Chain A
């Protein structure tokens, strides 16, 4: 068994929350630089340049990239050899508690916006801590604890969609659904987008697939040739919508399409589209604990 302390998890999550708010991820910065070269609209190019300028200013002035510092969505892969050791004074504290404590500390200390309401329909009172975080936990083989954070802005998340297609709708049905979703998102969701697409699984799994797809580096190739081609086809067709940076027209509507799939029922073809804005704030950290004698 390998032990990782509660405090180490809190600190790792706090650091992720802060890092992600003030720095564009390197893969996103590269993609924007490439897009500037290719963009034919002068206004579009100017907006893309401003994304990089905003990033430089955010780092220099310690201002968050965006005022919507997001709902904290965490993906936790816990090795089956890893035990998270609760602190002696709170022996009942869980991994979930550690993550929420890290988010609370990061959002408070770095002057990030608290964007969570405690209950969705009646009073919608702000919790004031940006918690609870959304946590997706998975047991995996090994002795490491990997924590990934997506700071998910509301504008792009609101334009995400899910459909239970028929198998006969096929590849064309999936492509049409993705394009319809992006067309509706348009200027509202802060293009150029990073588009996560989930295909397969069931109703609740497919949304998670679309979100998990967003953890892949945006300049990485899908390991499966069929889906690599589908990603390229979708990216081409999304950019052909000419929504452009800020929805003001141009060639750069999306920076990447990332697909994640799962087996599904013989009757089903679930598909989900999870949209990310141009800041695509994502970071991962892997903790390796000490041996437990």
Chain B
């Protein structure tokens, strides 16, 4: 298997454009989280011309709703949720400088075009391996929308978090067969 690429967010456009579909990556550093409800709020804010509660520039956003942390732990299980549910919102977030997303499964044509246009990437983490992936998270705090419970926006810190480049900034996907 090809060499594993080390990713250390925040990422610039050049780093993202050097990634290619099929490459394995290990991510170490800060991530944001957000899933359905948080995406809807961010999107609605942008549509209304408002200011986002978090700056997305250079960030990777992980589509995850973790389980609650047991006492003495940073977080519970934390695997990816289905990315396509965020398709309606992702292009608008990418336009503000978001550099990439982590989730599972397919992305639609609108997202693929936005990845090429803005220089961004979609990474696939392994679905259903929440215990394994949760154990790669070393820090977690809520940044916004605490009322959404598991859907709040968090700042995570990860160490050697494994993923695969599923859709790159050149229009290619690992799922094209």
Residues of A within 8 A of B (CB): 42-43, 47, 50-51, 53-55, 57-58, 61-69, 111-115, 124, 126, 128, 153-155, 158, 186-190, 246-249, 277-279
> In this assembly, does B164 line the interface, its C-beta being within 8 Å of a C-beta of chain A?
yes
Q: How many B residues, CB 8 Å from partner?
A: 38
Q: Is the CB of B105 within 8 A of A124?
A: no
Q: Is the CB of B134 within 8 A of A67?
A: yes
Q: Is the CB of B68 within 8 A of A113?
A: yes
- Distance from B99 Cβ to chain A, minimum over Cβ atoms (Å): 22
Q: Is the CB of B177 within 8 A of A66?
A: no
Q: Of B77, B127, B129, which one neighbours A155 at CB under 8 angstroms?
A: B127
Q: Of B37, B77, B83, B164, which one neighbours A63 at CB under 8 angstroms?
A: B77
Assuming the contacts A51-B128, A66-B130, A126-B148, asked whether A111 and B65 have C-beta atoms less than 8 A apart, the reply is no
Q: Of B76, B106, B130, B135, which one neighbours A188 at CB under 8 angstroms?
A: B106
Residue with the highest number of chain A CB atoms closer than 10 Å, among B1, B126, B174, B177: B126
When chains A and B are docked, how far (Å) is the Cα of A188 from the Cα of B83?
8
Q: Of A54, A115, A186, which one neighbours B129 at CB under 8 angstroms?
A: A54
Q: Of A155, A187, A246, A248, which one neighbours B81 at CB under 8 angstroms?
A: A155
> In this assembly, does B29 line the interface, its C-beta being within 8 Å of a C-beta of chain A?
no
29 cross-chain CB contacts under 8 A: A50-B129, A53-B132, A54-B130, A54-B132, A63-B76, A63-B130, A64-B76, A66-B129, A67-B64, A67-B76, A67-B130, A67-B150, A68-B130, A113-B77, A113-B150, A126-B150, A154-B81, A155-B104, A155-B127, A186-B105, A187-B124, A187-B175, A188-B83, A188-B104, A190-B104, A190-B127, A247-B106, A248-B174, A277-B127
Q: Is the CB of B105 within 8 A of A128?
A: no
Residues of A within 8 A of B143 (CB): none
Q: Is the CB of A64 within 8 A of B106?
A: no
Q: Is the CB of B66 within 8 A of A67?
A: yes
Q: Of B77, B126, B135, which one neighbours A246 at CB under 8 angstroms?
A: B126
Residues of A within 8 A of B134 (CB): 63, 67
Residue with the highest number of chain A CB atoms closer than 10 Å, among B67, B69, B104, B134: B67
Apart from A113-B76, A278-B128: 16 A-B pairs, beta carbons within 8 A:
A63-B134, A67-B76, A68-B65, A111-B70, A113-B150, A114-B149, A114-B150, A155-B105, A186-B175, A187-B106, A189-B82, A246-B126, A247-B106, A248-B124, A277-B128, A279-B128
Residue of B nearest to A66 (CB): B130
